Amino acid sequence: MPHRPDLDAPSVPTDATVSLFFDLDGTLIDLAARPDAVVVSAALLAALARLSARRPGRVAILSGRSIAQLDDLLGPFARSVAVAGSHGAERRAPAAAAIAATVPPALAAAHADLAAVADRHGLLLERKSLGTALHFRDTPALEGVADDAARDVAHRHGLVLQRGKMMVEVRAPGDKGAALTALLATPAMAGTRPLFFGDDVTDEDGFVAAYDAGGAGVLVGPPRITAARHRLPDPAAVRAWIERAGGDA
């Protein structure tokens, strides 16, 4: 369901019929050279807390990071809203225990294979709870090396190949669209229309699921062909939108 790239900004919902879903990296916060170098400001956490207080149970974070990483980055706020980590393979309702996918035994062998590639070529390796990523933001000439290696490892071990911004990941099955659909079935979100904000190709499943549920996706970043219906130019614009929504919802 691709749409033309000249999309408008989403309006701020003024009633309780909309649930809000946000990716983290590149959407709520600016990307960094290393995954562990991102900054989550106190101002953002305060704005998200105000938004969540005005829309109890109808704010969620959907990320490629693990839930454990989200807890570290977002602090107590992460426990106050629904979260889905590892591209939707693990989920947690507010103040509840996480629902995690079974860890495929092949993940350990896949990680070892990718670690060898990273060591050999100088790629940045990131181990996640349900996957391993090769980052080439600092070494863009190695994109082909990283992609070929990850594709081979995913095929040999029966895992999912996930491409993203300046990275490629081998991971357990799961996608943000399925996670969004599952969270929409929770009592607080039942019957609401989802608005999902994301920046990467890894968010396209979420855009499609949001549209199928009567809502829409919001692409964050430069125009491109996408299933999203709206667009904001950068994370700063998303943060400004959240400030308005937290005051007006």
From 8, 15, 23, 200, active-site residue: 23
What secondary structure, in 3-state letters, does the chain show? CCECCCCECCCCCCCCCEEEEECCECCCECCCCCHHHCCCCHHHHHHHHHHHHHCCCCEEEECCCCHHHHHHHHCCHHHHCEEEEHHHCEEECCCCCEEECCCCCHHHHHHHHHHHHHHHHCCEEEEECCEEEEECCCCHHHHHHHHHHHHHHHHHHCCEEEEECCEEEEECCCCHHHHHHHHHCCCCCCCCEEEEEECCHHHHHHHHHHHHCCCEEEEECCCCCECCCEEECCHHHHHHHHHHHHHHC
Whether the CB-CB separation of 177 and 205 falls below 8 Å is answered with yes
152 included as an active-site residue: no
Which of the residues are catalytic? Answer: 23
